Amino acid sequence: MTNDDLDSGLPEGLDLRTLSAYVDGELPDAQRAAIAAQLDAHPRAAARVAAWRAQDAALRALCGVRAPQQTPQQTTPQAAQQASQQAAQQTPQATEQPAAREESGAREETYQRDRAAVPADGTVRARPTPSPDEPTYIVVRRTRPWWQRVGLAACWLAAGAGLTLALGPLAPRLTGGAWSGAWGRFGAQPAGFAQRADVAYAVYSPERRHPVEVAASEEAHLINWLSKRLNRPLSVPSLQEYGYSLVGGRLLPGEAGPAAQFMYENQAGARLTLYVAGGTQDQTAFRLLRDGNRRTFYWVSDGMGYALSGAIAEGKLRAIAIDVCSALGGKPEAWQQ
């Protein structure tokens, strides 16, 4: 025995090597019975034995190896009596530790299987060592191979994509347009000029002292100046029919060059803006951009992008946008229905 085999937490007469042999079932019956009696009186040592058995069971479960079954062995009454006397001499304090026995009560059933049972015929028969691959301390589950996990994730991804494609066209109808979020149509990303128009409205419409660069009192100068900067003749449609008057306009940076913003206001102080940008790919689609309480109807006509923004009812803003498109030479008939 070496110093490495000793442990201050073990009772006198026990060492790590002996306990290891006890767990592995390598000790004679008499010595096993003596150690089992000592473990009943020393919960810390019993807990260590239980932990070792649990570790051994976990390793066997992971490796798919079952513990070899041990057959009962015959012992003489003299050996059993000698083992009992030896255990009584080594653990005289066992009867003086009721608290320790209560603490070890939960483990008593586990170690009863290691104690010798004396039948009526006087022959002591040591019960086989408990199977270490069936403890109550650890539950081991094998993990799936990595390729199975990857395949399962791919199947879920494909199912989600298929469900999205199947329900996508129905989402706006089922949710009343709320599914589209900031986009007017499901899956249709808004044009860059429409997003710029929405941001410009959010920035300048709350402004009270300097909402525009050139006021409506200089409307002719405003139109000439912005037409020159955009290199395109511009016109300012009238919204008096809807109760909105021109406030003025300003020059803004666009995606491919300068852009213009015209601002309108009604008597209640509500404002609309018309954003005009050049260099936009020609298309006739009429779309809606939503962002919070703001709405922007935008379209492209003759290479120019137009966006009408406001924080009013969507239906009313749409009606105004249709008239503005028509006044600017567009053809709203294709998307009025």
For the cut 80, the answer to whether the pLDDT of residue 88 exceeds it is: no
Is 185 or 284 the better-scoring residue by pLDDT? 284
- Cα–Cα distance for residue pair 215/203, rounded to 1 Å: 18
105 class by beta-carbon count within 10 Å (0-12 exposed, 13-18 middle, 19+ buried): exposed
DSSP one-letter string for 163-194: HHHHHTTTHHHHHTTGGGTTBSBTTBPPPHHH
The verdict on residue 134 lying in a domain is: no
Q: What is the DSSP letter of 297?
A: E
Number of H helices, E strands in the chain: 11, 9
Tens of pLDDT, residues 318-335: 999 999 998 988 777 665
| Domain co-membership, 104 together with 20 | yes
The per-residue pLDDT of the chain, averaged, comes to: 75
Alpha carbons within 13 angstroms on the beta-carbon side of residue 328 total 28
| Domain co-membership, 169 together with 270 | no
Name every residue whose Cβ is closer than 8 Å to that of residue 37 and which is 6 or more positions away in sequence: 84, 87, 91, 94, 115
Q: What is the CATH number of the domain that holds 241?
A: 3.30.200.100
pLDDT band at 35 (very low <50, low <70, confident <90, very high): confident
Q: What is the sign, positive or negative, of the torsion defined by CA atoms of 196, 197, 202, 207? A: positive
Q: For residues 53 and 23, is the Cβ–Cβ distance under 8 A?
A: yes
The verdict on residue 265 lying in a domain is: yes
Residue 273: helix, strand or coil by DSSP? strand
Domain that holds residue 215: 183-335
| Domain co-membership, 16 together with 96 | yes
| Domain co-membership, 16 together with 157 | no
Structure tokens at 105: 């009560």
Structure tokens at 30: 């008499």
Mean per-residue pLDDT, 40-45: 85
* pTM summary value: 0.47
* Domain count across the chain: 3
The pLDDT score that the predictor gives to residue 95 is 43
pLDDT band at 10 (very low <50, low <70, confident <90, very high): confident
The verdict on residue 104 lying in a domain is: yes
| Domain co-membership, 49 together with 95 | yes
Cα angle: 22, vertex 23, 28; to 5 degrees: 30
| Domain co-membership, 196 together with 277 | yes
Mean per-residue pLDDT, 70-79: 49
| Domain co-membership, 21 together with 83 | yes
Report the relative pairing of strands 258-265 and 245-253 from DSSP bridges. Answer: antiparallel
